[in-house]
Amino acid sequence: MSSHSAGAVLNQIPSPNRTLFSSAHLRVGTQEVNSMGEISECKASPGPANNSNATPRVQPKTLLQEYLLEHLPIYRKLRELQRLGWQSEAGDTHFQNQRQRADHADAKAKTGFFRLMRTIGLELDDATLALTLPSGGNSPRPAILDLCMAPGGFSSAALYRNPAALLRGISLPPSQGGHEMLLNKYWSDRDPSAQIYVSFRDITLLAEEMGTPASSVPASHPDAASFSSDRPFMDQEFDLVFCDGQVLRTHERLEYRQKTEATRLLTTQLVLALQRIRPGGTIVILLHKADAWPSVQLMHTFAAFADGVELFKPRAGHRVRSSFYLVAKGVRPWREAAVEAVRRWKVQWSVATFGVQGGRGDERLSGEEELELLEGGEEEEVRAVLRKFGPALVRMVEPVFAIQAEALRNAPWMKNMV
Ligand SMILES: C[S@@+](CC[C@H](N)C(=O)[O-])C[C@H]1O[C@@H](n2cnc3c(N)ncnc32)[C@H](O)[C@@H]1O
């Protein structure tokens, strides 16, 4: 299979899914992530392999960057600062040390990270009111779903704003490398009727949820015994869903999960969220690189079935990073665009997990082919999105880039460079 081109693989997929692939997106795997949820940027991300003699494909990233460079002065500044930063050895050392500290975090560092996430949650609410849920009167008891919950900073902030809310969380077990739960309120992982109940599991193995019955996974698949048919919290609706998952270096994974794990994690969170959100509810999603096609396409996708989409970049931490949050309010999960998006994310999860949707599990694409399929973004599609969505995009991303640029300009390793 690895000798096939991505196009050849597409031809093997039944036509409804083929059209889905052509607008596939969501690869977020161009970053390194440490155990405290910090991202270190890759200095360069090579485009997918082009093994034909045809005119090279214009990368969606190139089109987006050209557009933003033309329309957004702060983006030009940020790019220049990044270029200087990447030349700095002191910057490299800073990020290396940060990774090192995070991977071997002691109790004090873990508590520090929990507090930081709580502060970011409160800041997010101050800026967007995303965490302030209707209560009293005829409103039902507010319900919150926190995907990838530990250490629990966001949950702590959400409970501070909504003390009576029901909270359900899912998080990677610490025994598999996940964060420990440090929530400062009583929570249970045994009693599903508790106000705060947490299910510890690897969400990317929820095969049934992602449209592949666990029983149909071939025995030859390296993770065959690990996939699950569970659909946690499927019988509940939530007013607010956090999707703050981060691939952790401390999470030991099989080889097949090394390259596409970020896609597997994000698509699983999105499907879980959309299949449980109360119509009109709010979804908060951690993303990276506001100038990357997967992020932009996600903003555009959500705009089609949410009453409002805004971006939030915290000042309390992670300023120098490319990370930011997409906040979608008034989400309408039964709109056609939402149903279509869920279908597409399931296909992407399947490709990232099995190589080919419905494949036998021992037929895998080469890494480059897989990434090309997942990133998608045909030139015409990117241009069409920019024509329609470009001005709104510029307004949305400007504050994100402004905060990052300011932080980078003031970073210690930039001292004698700017
Ligand atoms: C940035 S931290 C989340 C911080 C949290 N939102 C808070 O406010 O404290 C990322 C989380 O993703 C979780 N995670 C990573 N991979 C996962 C997986 N496959 N299944 C479930 N959780 C996962 C990690 O264990 C960690 O708890």
CATH number at residue 231: 3.40.50.150
Does 251 fall in a domain? yes
Please provide the average confidence, as pLDDT, over all residues in the chain.
Answer: 83
Does 177 fall in a domain? yes
Closest CA to 210 of 275, 266, 271: 271
Q: For residue 231, report the distance from its CA to the centre of ligand 1, in Å.
A: 18
Contact 275, 233 (CB under 8 A): no
Q: For residue 178, report the distance from its CA to the centre of ligand 1, in Å.
A: 7
Does 370 fall in a domain? yes
Closest CA to 268 of 297, 232, 304: 232
Contact 60, 377 (CB under 8 A): yes
Closest CA to 289 of 407, 402, 397: 397
Mutate which of 103, 131, 148, 325 to test ligand 1's pocket (most atoms within 8 Å of Cβ)? 148
Report pLDDT digits (tens) over 56-86: 677 888 999 999 999 999 999 999 999 988 8
Tokens of 171: 């998080």
Strands 277-288 and 323-331: antiparallel
Q: Tokens 């029983």 belong to which residue?
A: 215
Q: For residue 172, report the distance from its CA to the centre of ligand 1, in Å.
A: 6
| C-alpha to C-alpha distance for 21 and 13, rounded to whole angstroms | 9
Tokens of 76: 């030009």
Q: Tokens 């099989």 belong to which residue?
A: 254
Mutate which of 38, 244, 272 to test ligand 1's pocket (most atoms within 8 Å of Cβ)? 244
Radius of gyration from C-alpha coordinates of the chain: 21
Residue 123: give the domain boundaries: 57-414
Please give the number of the atom of ligand 1 that sits closest to the Cα of 118. 8
Q: For residue 32, report the distance from its CA to the centre of ligand 1, in Å.
A: 15
| C-alpha to C-alpha distance for 275 and 341, rounded to whole angstroms | 11
Does 330 fall in a domain? yes
Q: For residue 316, report the distance from its CA to the centre of ligand 1, in Å.
A: 19
Please give the number of the atom of ligand 1 that sits closest to the Cα of 157. 8
End-to-end CA distance of the chain: 49
Residues framing ligand 1 (Cβ under 6 A): 37, 114, 117, 148-154, 171-172, 178-179, 202-204, 244-248, 251, 265
Does 383 fall in a domain? yes
Tokens of 405: 């640029």
Please tell me the residue having the least CA distance from ligand 1 atom 1. Answer: 37
Task: Tell me how long the chain is.
Answer: 418
pLDDT of the chain, 418 residues: tens digit per residue: 333 333 333 323 333 333 222 223 333 333 333 333 333 333 333 344 445 566 667 788 899 999 999 999 999 999 999 998 888 788 788 888 888 887 888 899 999 999 999 999 999 999 999 999 988 777 789 999 999 999 999 999 999 999 999 999 999 999 999 999 999 899 999 999 999 999 999 999 999 999 998 888 888 888 889 999 999 999 999 999 999 999 988 888 888 888 889 999 999 999 999 999 999 999 999 999 999 999 999 999 999 999 999 999 999 888 999 999 999 999 999 999 999 999 999 999 998 898 754 444 445 555 556 566 666 678 889 999 999 999 999 999 999 999 999 999 998 888 777 7
Query: Residue ranges of the alpha helices (H) in 145-283?
Result: 153-161, 261-274
Domain count across the chain: 1
Amino acid at site 270:
L
Q: What is the pLDDT of residue 11?
A: 29
Closest CA to 37 of 403, 321, 401: 321
Contact 167, 195 (CB under 8 A): yes
Does 26 fall in a domain? no
Please give the number of the atom of ligand 1 that sits closest to the Cα of 261. 19
Does 33 fall in a domain? no
What are the C-alpha distances in Å from 93 to residues 90, 410, 413?
Answer: 5, 17, 9
Q: Tokens 């992530």 belong to which residue?
A: 33
Q: For residue 35, report the distance from its CA to the centre of ligand 1, in Å.
A: 9
Tokens of 231: 């659909």
Q: What is the pLDDT of residue 401?
A: 97
